[in-house]
């Protein structure tokens, strides 16, 4: 029961982050916002390799950011209900709303960009899998930023990392079968 409770609360905490990350990927299949469908690095190289690569677009960044902030703003509003308060790990009423929404939008995307930067430096092609980094990049940056505004227990962070190891491949496999992603990782 304790474990289930921890899983539920951690999932609720990470919901904006998971959805931000998923929608950044989903947006690559959309035909709208096509003016934003440009690589963030504008095709520029850093040394021999691309700075970030074609897999990191402004559209993914903007869509992911918006989804992360929208979901956390909904969570902030829901905090007035006791049932939502019971599963909240953040005191949404006490944290600075502006910071929290910025962190929930930018946090996951920053880690994803930083990971791509290092993948290119290590000569990994766009889309080439880098186990654990691909799964954990976005929650790492989110947790680091979140720690600035809210106290986090270590068991929550560990639960978050373990849950993400399950959820990330699951969502990728679903996206692969829905033909949203070209590869299943």
Q: Note the residues at the interface with ligand CTP (CB under 6 A).
A: 24-25, 28, 53, 55-57, 59-61, 112, 116, 119, 126-128
Q: What ranges in 27-128 are assigned the alpha helix state H? A: 58-78, 82-87, 97-121
Report how far residue 165's alpha carbon sits from residue 1's, in angstroms, rounded to the nearest whole number.
Answer: 21
Q: Encode burial over 8-40: b for 16+ CB neighbours within 10 A, e otherwise.
A: ebbebbbbbbbbbbbbbbbbeeeeeeeeeeebb
**Cβ nearer to ligand CTP, comparing 90 with 113:** 113
Q: What are phi and psi of 67, to 5 degrees?
A: -65, -45
**Cβ nearer to ligand CTP, comparing 57 with 69:** 57
In the complex, the smallest distance separating the C-beta of residue 49 from ligand CTP, rounded to whole angstroms, is 11
In the complex, the smallest distance separating the C-beta of residue 75 from ligand CTP, rounded to whole angstroms, is 23
In the complex, the smallest distance separating the C-beta of residue 33 from ligand CTP, rounded to whole angstroms, is 10
In the complex, the smallest distance separating the C-beta of residue 35 from ligand CTP, rounded to whole angstroms, is 13
**Cβ nearer to ligand CTP, comparing 128 with 167:** 128
**Cβ nearer to ligand CTP, comparing 59 with 164:** 59
Report how far residue 91's alpha carbon sits from residue 80's, in angstroms, rounded to the nearest whole number.
Answer: 11
Token pair listed for 95: 């944290």
Report how far residue 169's alpha carbon sits from residue 154's, in angstroms, rounded to the nearest whole number.
Answer: 23
Apex 139 CA angle, 133 and 145, nearest 5: 125
**Cβ nearer to ligand CTP, comparing 53 with 160:** 53
**Cβ nearer to ligand CTP, comparing 75 with 135:** 135
Cβ-closest position to ligand CTP: 60
In the complex, the smallest distance separating the C-beta of residue 31 from ligand CTP, rounded to whole angstroms, is 14
Q: Which strand (E) or helix (H) includes residue 49?
A: strand 49-50
Token pair listed for 83: 């049932």
In the complex, the smallest distance separating the C-beta of residue 109 from ligand CTP, rounded to whole angstroms, is 6
């Amino acid at each position: 029961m304790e474990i289930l409770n921890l899983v539920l609360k951690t999932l609720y905490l990470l919901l904006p982050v998971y959805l931000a990350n998923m929608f950044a990927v989903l947006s690559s299949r959309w035909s709208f916002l096509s003016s934003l469908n440009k690589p963030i690095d504008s095709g520029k190289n850093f040394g021999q390799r691309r700075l970030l690569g074609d897999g990191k677009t402004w559209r993914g960044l903007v869509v992911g950011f918006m989804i992360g902030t929208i979901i956390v703003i909904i969570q902030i509003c829901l905090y007035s209900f006791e049932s939502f308060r019971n599963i909240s790990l953040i005191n949404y009423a006490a944290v600075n709303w502006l910071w929290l929404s910025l962190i929930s939008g930018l946090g996951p995307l920053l880690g994803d960009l930083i990971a791509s930067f290092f993948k290119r430096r290590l000569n990994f092609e766009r889309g080439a899998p880098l186990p654990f980094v691909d799964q954990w990049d976005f929650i790492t940056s989110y947790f680091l930023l979140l720690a600035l505004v809210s106290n986090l227990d270590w068991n929550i962070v560990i639960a978050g990392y373990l849950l993400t190891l399950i959820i990330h491949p699951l969502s990728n496999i679903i996206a692969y079968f829905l033909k949203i992603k070209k590869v299943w990782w």
